[in-house]
Structures are given as C-alpha cells and as structure tokens.
Amino acid sequence: MTKKAYEPLFHISKRNTIVWWKAWTIRAAAILAALIVCGFVTLALTGLNPINVYITMFEGAFGTSRRIWNLLQNVAILLCVSLAVTPAFKMKFWNLGAEGQVLIGGLATEVCMIFLGNKLPTPLLIVVMVAASIVAGAVWGFIPAFFKANWETNESLFTLMMNYVAIQIVSYFTFIWSVPKGSGTPRVLEFGRLPVIGGQKYMLNIIVVAVLTIAMFIYLKYTKQGYEIAVVGGSPNTARYVGIDVKKIILRTMLISGAICGIAGLLLVAGTDHSLKSSTAGGRGFTAIMVSWLAKFDPIFMVFTSFLIVFLEKGASKISEVYRLNDSFSDIITGIIIFFIIGSEFFINYKLKLSKNSNKEAAK
C-alpha cells in the first residue's frame, strides 16, 4: 500500500437529547461569536470601532418611540406572513408564494378603497375590504394547492411563479391608477383606512396579529384540523392509511395560508402605507420562511424570531445611514449573524468529538 490513510480529525454523532439550558448556552454563544466576527469584519472593512457600531445599531431599532413603534409594526406584519406560511410548512407544502398572496390581498383591498370608497359608510367598507382581501389571498393560495392535490405538481415552483404573476398584475394597476395618471406614483388612498386605536397608528395591526398568533398556536396544537395537518406533513401514506382525505387537507390548509397572507396585505395597504405598489410586501414573503423555520413552526416562538430579524434589519440600516456606508455593509452584518444562529442548530443536534489519536499525531 503506497497510499497513506489517516484517521479523521472529528467524530460527529447525533445527540439523543439536550437539556434546555445547554441548548440556550449554545445559541447565546453563537450570537456572541457572531458579534465578535462582525466586529473584526467591521474593523477590517471600515476601520470603525465595533462597539460604537453596535450601539448605533441598537439606537436604530429602539432610539426613539417612533422607531420602537415602527419596529413593532414591522414585526407584526412579518409575523403575520410567517403565521400564514406555517400551517403549509407543517404539512410539508413549501409555500414560497406568500409574497404574491400578500400583494393580491393588498390589491383586493385597494380595489375596494378606490371603487367603493365614497359609496359605502366606512365600517361597512372595512368589512367588505376584509372579506375581499381574505378571498383574494385564499384564491391565490388555492390555485397551486389545487394542482398539487390533483396532479402532484411541484408546489415550490408553482407558488414561486405565482409571485411574479402577482407582482406584474400589481405593477400594471399601480400604473393605471397612479395620480397623476400615467406618472407611476401610487395613488394615496383616502377612504377605508383602518381606525387608529389609542392614538397609535399601528396599534390595530399589532392587536390583530397578536390575536392571530394565539389562534394559530391553538389551531395547530389543539384542534383536529391542526392534527390532520401534522399527520399529512409527517407521512402522507399514514394519513391515507387512517382514512384522512389528503387532497382535502392540502386544499383547506392552503386556503387558510393564503387567507392570512391576504390579511397581511390588508394591514399593509389599509393600515400602514395607504397605497399599494409592487414592492409593498417588501420581500417579507421570503423572510417569513426563515422566521417560521427558525422557530421550528411554533407560532409563539415566531414572535421572537421575527423580532430578531426585524431588529437586525433596522439596526443594520441605521449603521449604513449614520456611517455613510452603503446597504451592502448592513447586509453583511445581518448575514453573518443569521449564519451563526442557524449554524448553532447543528451543534444543538450533533456533538463533535476530537479523535483520540489526532492529538498524538499533531504532537509528532
């Protein structure tokens, strides 16, 4: 044998269980490590003091009460979209079309606000808007589900493509309805704005999403329908074996998923922006995927993960603003931190052990 073979350096083995504090220690260590790495990157790229940069980041998110409300509003919308994709994900139906479902819900809202705005009393108008946004989002979610249930089409590609269709439709109408006409500036919607509660513009959004969060938690954990979703997601064959109508569950779950996306569209158009453009959803349909996965599909835990993501976004964009760095720098910081957080899950699920012989060999 001319070839020389060495023992591998590490042994990787799956952990059976891990005590909760150990898991959290690993996660905390990951964030700390991320901050240290970010610090070096900051220093190397910009020459700035990392501690100051972190303080700026924190200020960007919590600096003023307006910033805090803005942060909470963003958390609410992101959480809402994350709640929407979660039942589909639990069913292992990869709904990557939340972006489009939100936009279509927003478009339905806008249609009501423009064409029924001065014809219906506001309370009735809002009821119609809610119904329209839910139906529109649900239909957009139902279409890929229908094809998946009947012809086993690939839902990831289908929902992804539906995003582009939705974006183009919204762009088209934004242009048609722009004021002045043809200018491309989105029309500002006056009628049917959601009511302001307690003097806070975003309060209603936050309350709606809080209620949705609890409802989704109960739905997934304690209802028969939630159980059916888990069975279909766990093993479609087992579902068939016990007589669950898999087709029906796929259609029903995607109706729910799309409907909640529709509500997110409503909250964005009638409760926040009072206008609609093709970038209104702002990539939340995709960020929500990460929020849901990081929280392991637990709605309560998703409150924290969506908060973390929004905090990072807000903080990082403040850094760019204050230190006159371009947006890519904040993306680098966000990317490093998220990479470490996701990577820490590996160390929670697996343990590494140095080979006994490797020390010996290194010493030689």
**Interaction site with other proteins (CB under 8 A):** 1, 3, 5-8, 11, 13-16, 222-227, 230-231, 234-235, 237-238, 240-243, 356
Which residue lies nearer to other proteins by CB, 256 or 309? 256
Q: Which is nearer to other proteins, 15 or 181 (CB)?
A: 15
Residues 6+ apart with CB under 8 A from 120: 128
Q: Kindly state the smallest distance separating residue 348's Cβ from other proteins, in Å.
A: 14
- Biggest CA pair distance of the chain: 89
Q: CB-based contacts of 236: which residues, under 8 Å, 6+ apart?
A: 246
The minimum distance between CB 11 and other proteins, in angstroms, equals 7
Closer to other proteins by CB, 5 or 363: give it.
Answer: 5
Q: Could you give the CA distance from residue 204 to residue 182 in angstroms, rounded to a whole number? A: 33
Closer Cβ to other proteins, 356 or 364, answer by number = 356
- CA 115 and chain centroid, separation: 31
What minimum distance in Å lies between the beta carbon of 1 and other proteins? Answer: 7
Shortest separation between residue 356's beta carbon and other proteins, angstroms: 7
Alpha carbons 58 and 356: distance in angstroms, whole number: 44
Size of the chain in residues: 364
Sign of the alpha-carbon dihedral angle for 17, 23, 26, 31: positive
Based on the number of CB atoms within 10 Å of its own CB, is 237 exposed (0-12), middle (13-18) or buried (19 or more)? Answer: exposed
Q: Report in angstroms how near the CB of residue 362 gets to other proteins at its nearest.
A: 16
Q: If you ran DSSP here, which 8-state letter would residue 12 be given?
A: E
Residue 248 CB, nearest distance to other proteins (Å)? 12
Dihedral of the alpha carbons of 233, 238, 242, 247, in degrees to the nearest 10: 50
Closer residue to other proteins (CB): 17 or 328: 17
At 328, the amino acid letter reads S
CA 240/CA 246 separation, integer angstroms:
7
**Judged by CB, which is closer to other proteins: 44, or 242?**
242
Complex with other proteins: residue 181 or 296, whichever CB lies closer: 296
Give the closest residue to 345 by CA, choosing from 60, 65, 16, 27. 27
Select 195 or 234, whichever has its Cβ closest to other proteins: 234
Q: Give how far the C-alpha of residue 99 lies from the chain's centroid of Cα atoms, to the nearest Å.
A: 10
Closest contact distance (angstroms) between CB of 15 and other proteins is 6
Residue 223 beta carbon to other proteins: minimum distance, rounded to whole angstroms: 5
